[in-house]
Structure 1
């Protein structure tokens, strides 16, 4: 039976939960153990929704959090049912060890029994404390107290009408505390499940960064500056300097473009899009700055400029600030101009999570939605939406061009994917935000099932690297994998476990 459901979608977890409940119920009846299966259903839901999805791995602190926080906040039980909770969990612990479903990192059976004995009295107190309730449980309990079945729509609507009319009294202080519990439980900053990532080491990333077009241009720009260059009175590069830089850095800008039989004279450096973005990027990366009408190198950035990886990381962080430079300003601004940082985050995140390259149209839609959400922007008419989308799509394409120039993404026709350098840069950015990506090294001491479950949801190259490195680290890996193949009811897990044992069998 599969016991690892980390980040599993509900359509995978819920049927599996029901299978486990049926097996547990049969085992409990054979051993003449009275249990409340709804209690176990709630416990498994906690482990999946609020935990790590490891149904066979429990520590005393996990039980404490489940029984003193999750159950009081989320689970509606009558007081008569409370007494059956810790005994049911105790029987579940026995079931795990008897059926060889307990993870090898699970706490000892006796230790869990002792923890449950200590939790029995505090659990009853917590369940009786309404200030611990979540919002849904608060109203469901209140309906039951008033003799209303929450599943009866007519009766529920009548209850709501009585509540609004003031015929049902509510403790406002208690309701405020319940609302606070609800908001804390929602965790709006919770990030999506992070995939397993094969992050190259720093030496590899440094070599890749040394080939980045943006890194090379930033280094060359600072060398060209020398001790500094005088700017115009409006803070722009002088046109003569701009002409020199366009050629030196190969920005792709055209000076004095010819359209048809007409020559359009370039009057300011602002008209040179590629150069304008690069100078803004250098300032955002803190390698140049404006001082008394001059553009000068930042002396303290000398070490950064000498290290391609450090410079690439600075450049990636600086990209979040380039909304005006990349998108432009004026009457035809898109929503990305104002929430460019949201789009810069959303695009690499989508590419990181996706198992395959992502269509450009999907990235355009994602960036547009991220910017609209950040602005609190509601939908307009069909005609307005088309106009807004066109402007935003153009700016998303410009963003993709900048990411490609940095070497963070690769574009192949109508799809894009993160490069190894892009993975490294974005993983580093996420770490700065306190978000840790699972890596192969972190999983080498994990159990066979956790490794197989992780590999199953990973890109083929990453899965193969994980299985290879894990088998190399674990001499008894073939025994664990064969045991998993015999126990699991997940066909894909069984296939991968058996496939991974084949190389090991040839070595033994």
Structure 2
């Protein structure tokens, strides 16, 4: 049986593959082996499309490549069964060996099975829905990202190549400017000079053999971005520098350039947007056609997004007809903002973008289109100063090379600009300020929004940066107890304040809030600390505070820990208070009494709580 096929042997390969798959299916039934022929079909397609076409020889590196990247990409994209893939690959190699079809030099089935066994757990996770870790993350609310300090943003902006490009363009124009063609484009000789000056990597000597949409691609988007940002402008047939841009600070100039890149559509791998009727121009112009404006009043216009980031907004954004000018960059930025500190593995990012944006599907099965488009996008983001792409390498792709691998991470300026770009798409990513310049209210509001350890580190950094520490603590406590502040934040923030700034200092400040909106909680703490006498406080106020505390516990504490919390708040000697609890005008008293009746570890207290709940229901009708 013929077992080796070249890329042009389409009919012959499919005929042989079908014969092998039919035999494999019968072999599975005969030997009662749990596996699936579909996995073997994918394996054969991989060997023919991406391997050496030899269906009889299965080097371990080929099996590893299939299991590591090629297969997960295909099965996730097309929602195929995945759990049995490793076992099926091992079974197929055993089938080939039993039928005498395995090449003599191929690794033995036992070696292949050991290798496949290393992937069982990974494929179990894929079957459970883990898929791409990045894709899974989109279903979770993102943690607020810290806005970099002004100094870090300025230093990052100063290193951005696009800023150097724009200023070099302005300097190249000189006092008199540079002549343009009659159609407002660079002359070819000037384009050649700029390619060298800016290091765009374009190939002007090949321009006559390229169609308009690929001509001097990088130089073109850099030029159009600089024009849109106001670094240079076309005026009376010349390209001239704009003095206003030269006077901007690095951060402002950088942000203007990034937003301009979005406006000209340079954050999409489909850029430049060239009309179908465009043809070659004897002037060999560099400037491309601008993106077609969107009529927001017309039916089926671009989706308008408002509010916070959620699954529906992301899905609508990524599937919108035509998409916004930065459609490829938008999901990449969403992923990168979730990994500001450690960056994102290039392969994970490439796979996630491919699945979300249908790159491979749109390219009629081109297996390399995802790598090419990812490289194009990341190199644009890199030139814009938004990302650092470290540890990448170049691999052959036909007659050219494609950049792959490594880690992609937002720069400090990239974090700030990513937030601007998402806001331009009406996607509002949660943020956290730099603690050194944050207000007390901004630090307090992080309670529950970031992990507790990170929040405490931010509090310490904020406090250390304050010129008047005592006043800062007073502002922190006031923010924690401000009108409209949630009880959870008020409780948590005052407790953490006592821990970080000193209990005595915080107790002193709390006296000023005994008449405030959280006076019950304040009085409860001061009574517990011996700062005021319990007889000086209305009993109803302290009971209300106890219900507040237990309501927060129901919302934030695991159910297995409720008994301890309930026993601490209502020990056995407090039985008589339940005669008053049911009469409280509190929106959650019924819920708290029900939980106490079911989970309090003391039987007598639990019974008292159940009786109190019945009396509460009689009084309120259970509402």
**Shorter-chain TM-score range:** 0.3 to 0.5
Higher helix share: 1
Of structures 1 and 2, the one with the larger relative CO (CA 8 A, separation 6+) is 1
> Which structure's CA Rg is the greater one?
2
Report the TM-score, using the length of structure 1 for normalisation.
0.45
